[in-house]
Amino acid sequence: MRLINSDKLAELQSDPNRIRNICILAHVDHGKTTMADSLVASNGIISSKLAGKIRYMDSRIDEQQRGITMKSSSIALYHTTDNKDSEFIVNLIDSPGHVDFASEVSTAVRLCDGAIVVVDVIEGVCPQTRSALSIAYIEGLKPVLVLNKIDRLITEVKLSPLDAYVHLMQVLEQVNAVMGELFASDIMDRDEREEGEKSQDNNLNERNLADWQSALEEADDSNLYFSPERGNVLFGSAMDGWGFGIKEFAKIFSTKLGFSERVLLKTLWGDFYLNSKTKRIMKGAQEKAKKPLFVQLILDNIWALYETVVVRKDKEKMMSIVDKLQIKLTIRDLRHTDSRTQLQAICSQWLPLARACLDMTCENVPSPNKLTKEKIERLMSGNNDFSALPQETQSLKNAFLKCDSSADAPVIVFISKMFPVDRKTLPENKAKPLTQEELTQRREIARQRHAALLEQQRSGVSMHPPEQNENLEPLRDSNPVEELSEDVLVAFARVYSGTLRKRSQVYVLGPKHNPRTALERQQNGEEVDKSTLLKDLKAGRHVTIATVDQLYLLMGRDLEPLDSITAGNVVGIGSLEDHVLNTATLSSTIACPSFAELTSLTDPILRVALEPKQPNDLQKLIKGLKLLNQADACAVVHIQETGEIVLNTAGEVHLEKCLEDLKLRYAKVEINVSEPIVPLRETVVPPPKVDMVNEVIERKEQQSSLEMWTANRQCCFEIDAKPLPDAVTKVLEKHSDLIKLIDQHVEKLGKETGEELPDIAKISLEPSVLPERTQKAVEGFLAELKLAFEDNGEKTPLEKIWCFGPRKCGPNILLNETDYEKRPFWERQIKSTDPRAAYESSIVNGFQLATLAGPLCEEPMMGVCFVLKKWEIHESSSSDGSGQSQGHLGGQLMSACKEACRRALSLRRPRLVTPMYSCSVLVNSDVLGDRAGSVLGAVDGRGVPPLWRETRQR
């Protein structure tokens, strides 16, 4: 039975100071969902005896079968502190730990202000633990560490309390080492951006180590690390239902030992021991071979309890322990034959995990109205400069800070994902319980019908079915509800400002929404059409208007209807599937910016081809794939030119989940699935320096470039292909987003009229010039790219770079070594009188098409530098000025350039590269032997593999 009714819940939700938004992050199988069960059981939603077994937050069948979480789900929990004065609503989001569902972690983290990071003390820090800590740090969450499964140290590893204490210290040091690494990397990146590059000629290696150390020493890391005495570390066992922080035992022993609670908080963890003679707490337990206080007062007692109940199963001693702890056990618990069940009954009353965890969360995690200015600016502007936003947009920052729910406050809601729900399970479609008046009315109708049947039997009149009796009202409803089986999509969102109400109209702002452009259009009298849906939007338009028909309180597997929701709360929003693809921002003002993109942890690289078993089901499959693409941000669907339908997923488990959803939920058709398609890349390699017998190959005369003519023999050009250094390719992959931003900026400048603007290196706050922060990032990128070329002994061709590809931001370069004058790619292009300027886009588009699909197997290229050495346009003898159109020649030139790039790559030692699989092997120390090194070396003896490697080396 739930501990709180809807009225009390609404009262707490209206006060931002009483709201906590948290998520649970961990590696797979470290105990997230088991811990969530304990927290849910504290509200009476499930039985405490079923906690850890029912996996309440895992509502999918495949989640229960596999024992792993595949989606993020939220539930609102009520919690009150020990003094009974402070009441809180904790919006808990349980997130997956499997690497295939990292996108679900991103959606959960964005809606939260804090995180519970769970670590298995046996396995320690695992890859997904690092990812969880990293994304929590990037998103600015306040983390709380839970060292889980301490019972395994007792029952499986069989460590002594002192050895367990040393092991816990090592695990804690591992976690803090990851936090320190993230902090140091962030500080150095910030310092580099702030310092910038004083000139393009400066070398990155000239920066002193002392400069980095000085920046790290000046940075404040006082609130960075986990430490039990600071109240952000919890020790426990989610399976046995117990957990504690230092604070709980400090209260217990402050009265027994006579020490102040403040002193015990500082000494219970660390190198301190209790001097039995002087009755004082002394330092230097390790030096004097004394038991630390943590072992003496805490771990020894827990080990003794496990020894008595689980190992020896001593009933008499167990009863004495129960009496000392003042715990009451039921007769059923005492008679139970399973010792772990008895242990759970004792520990859940002595050290309840839910109370300790929620107390620590409410104390450490900030409320929604205490967000930092830095986090708000990053949410509003992403990696761009906040000061570059319009003034109307910047003024919304105060609404975020206040988290105001008044009628005057603007409504700002962020939708992190869309999740499917069976239409039958929606609250408005469920059968409502009958009121007392309706029950009385139905009893009277049944009594009258029974009396009429008896009267018919006495009079000998033939009996008619009750449905044909016109004088009596039928029991069934006159308008039966149609059979509804299809799924609907519900938005998973958080309200940052204002109050969102049912039947209110809001702007739906897409991820590419630009508030400056939208405000300019609004000033010019362009209004957003209320009837426009997402599928009807034209290019460059990213705003629609939607009516909020349904609001839901997310309660794990259930949804509860709401009339309104105030700022600071997590909510489900219905009827938005026609307006939102994956993520969006809802606002009452069009000046609101679209929230920064979610932090991506994985890319969908596992590809399969799909087709329906029955050709007539093709349209159903396409419709189901659209729903899948909308409900799963990491599932990417595209139809190739050949008509083949390709599904990209994050991994095998994710692929199985997507196929299961297609067959049972979205398309409901049988599907043929191909073998996984390995994504490849096409590249060229340098010529060999030695032959098969290791003899040096003499350099021959350089091969001539490939000459190409258009079909009408009017345009001629020469192009060559050569490999890019690996360092350059890595720089281009690292800064792909920045390259895309530069291209968009230069393209925007090209459309503007007026005098020519200065180059990007000069700082200006005019709208047509990049923000200062972005300019510094561009300068750093150019310096890094220049250094990468120089380190490989090549001349720096920055001034000759025409563009990047594919998609104008890929790891391939087009160089201009012709007599055609063109400014560098990062500067605004000048108007040219050269007749070739009209066909410049044709060369660029041909290069983009070629790098997107290479000649070997139609896969994208990487690490290839195409050099345009000659470009000539000859006047056609048959042209009289009105013959051949410019567009016709441009199309021929684009096709010729594409074919020339593909041929040039084929003539310059082409290679296929494939992604390398990196894995971590976790084993216990007792199974490691002499052959451990050779076994691990067999996985990949070359160390950490690069992202791509030539297939001939496998």
Task: Band the pLDDT of 704: cuts 50, 70, 90.
Answer: low
Give the list of residues 6+ apart from residue 416 with CB closer than 8 angstroms, or none: 106, 107, 108, 110, 111, 492, 493, 494, 583, 598
For every residue of 738-792, DSSP letters joined together read HHHHHHHHHHHHHH--SSPPPPTTS---STTS--HHHHHHHHHHHHHHHHHHHHT
C-alpha to C-alpha distance for 860 and 148, rounded to whole angstroms:
45
CA distance 895 to 709: 10
Q: Tell me the mean pLDDT in the region 349-368.
A: 92
Cα–Cα distances (Å) from 916 to 97, 772, 919, 953, in that order, read 22, 38, 10, 11
The distance from CA 578 to its chain's CA centroid, rounded to whole angstroms, is 23
Look at residue 388 in the predicted model and tell me its pLDDT: 78
Residue 870 φ/ψ, nearest 5 degrees: -150, 140
pLDDT of 933 reads 47
Phi, psi for residue 49 in degrees, rounded to 5: -75, -20
Tokens of 13: 């939700």
Which burial class, exposed, middle or buried, applies to 474 when counting CB atoms under 10 A from its CB (0-12, 13-18, 19+)?
exposed
Number of Cβ atoms within 10 Å of the Cβ of 80: 16
- pLDDT, position 735: 85
The structure tokens listed for 456 are 């018919």
pLDDT at residue 703 greater than cutoff 80: no
Whether residue 937 has pLDDT greater than 60? no
CA-based angle 228:234:238, to the nearest 5?
160
Give, in order, the Cα–Cα distances in Å from 422 to each of 151, 175, 415, 637, 659.
Answer: 40, 40, 20, 23, 18
pLDDT for res 211: 56
Query: For position 473, what pLDDT does the model report?
Result: 42
Find which of 209-213, 598-602, 676-680, 878-882 is predicted with most confidence, using mean pLDDT. Answer: 676-680
Q: Given a cut of 50, is residue 759 above it in pLDDT?
A: no
The DSSP result for 137-205, as a single string, is HHTT-EEEEEEE-THHHHHTS---HHHHHHHHHHHHHHHHHHHHHHHHHHHHHHHHHHH--SSTT--GG
Q: Compute the average pLDDT of residues 751-760.
A: 44
Looking at the predicted structure, is the pLDDT value of residue 101 above 80?
A: yes
Residue 63: pLDDT over 90: no
CA–CA dist 548, 740 (Å, integer) = 35
pLDDT bin (cut points 50, 70, 90) of residue 338 is confident
The confidence score (pLDDT) of residue 858 equals: 85
Residue that is written with structure tokens 């809001």 in the block: 506
Cα separation values, 221 from 169, 184, 232, 405, 549, Å? 20, 10, 15, 34, 46
Q: Which helix (H) or strand (E) holds 24?
A: strand 19-26
Chain segment 110-164, per-residue pLDDT in tens: 899 999 999 999 988 988 899 999 999 988 899 999 999 999 999 998 999 999 9
| Whole-angstrom distance, CA of residue 265 vs CA of residue 245 | 10
Q: pLDDT band for 533, please (50, 70, 90 cuts).
A: confident
Burial class (CB in 10 A: 0-12, 13-18, 19+), 400: buried
The percent of residues above 70 in pLDDT, for the chain, comes to 83
Phi/psi of residue 257, each to 5°?
-95, -15
Q: CA of 550: how far to CAs of 309, 503, 584, 643, in Å?
A: 51, 8, 17, 38
pLDDT, residue 482, reads: 41
Mean pLDDT of 696-725: 75
Per-residue model confidence (pLDDT) at position 20: 93
Q: Which residue has the higher pLDDT, 703 or 406?
A: 406
Closest of 613, 597, 703 to residue 662, by C-alpha: 613
* Pairing label, strands 606-612, 645-649: antiparallel
pLDDT of 351 over the 60 cut: yes
**In terms of pLDDT, which residue wins out, 872 or 794?**
872
Binned at pLDDT 50, 70 and 90, residue 436 comes out as confident
CA distances from 127 to 23, 131, 396 (A): 18, 6, 38
Predicted TM-score (pTM) above 0.85: no
- Residue 641: per-residue pLDDT: 72
The first and second tokens of residue 225, run together, are 């690390």
Q: How confident is the model at residue 693 (pLDDT cuts 50, 70, 90)?
A: low
Output the pLDDT for position 284. 86
Burial category of 67 from C-beta neighbours within 10 Å (exposed 0-12, middle 13-18, buried 19 and up): exposed
What phi, psi does 26 have (nearest 5°)? -175, 170
Residue 898 has pLDDT above 50, yes or no: yes
* Interval 428-453 mean pLDDT: 82
The mean pLDDT value of the chain amounts to 81
What is the rounded average pLDDT of the residues 442-467?
Answer: 75
- pLDDT of 761 strictly over 50: no
Answer whether residue 816 shows pLDDT above 80.
yes
CA atoms within a 13 Å half-sphere pointing along the CA-CB vector of 71: 26
**Are 294 and 264 contacting, i.e. CB atoms less than 8 angstroms apart?**
no
Instruction: Tell me whether strands 233-237 and 242-244 are parallel, antiparallel or unpaired.
Output: antiparallel
Whole-number pLDDT of residue 177:
92
Reported as a single tens digit per residue, the pLDDT across 293-333 is 999 999 999 999 999 998 888 888 888 888 888 888 888 88
Q: What is the pLDDT of residue 740?
A: 84
The residues, ordered by sequence, that sit 6+ positions from 769 with a Cβ below 8 Å of its Cβ are 757, 758, 760, 762, 763, 775
How many whole angstroms separate alpha carbon 106 and alpha carbon 34?
21
Average pLDDT for 859-887 = 71
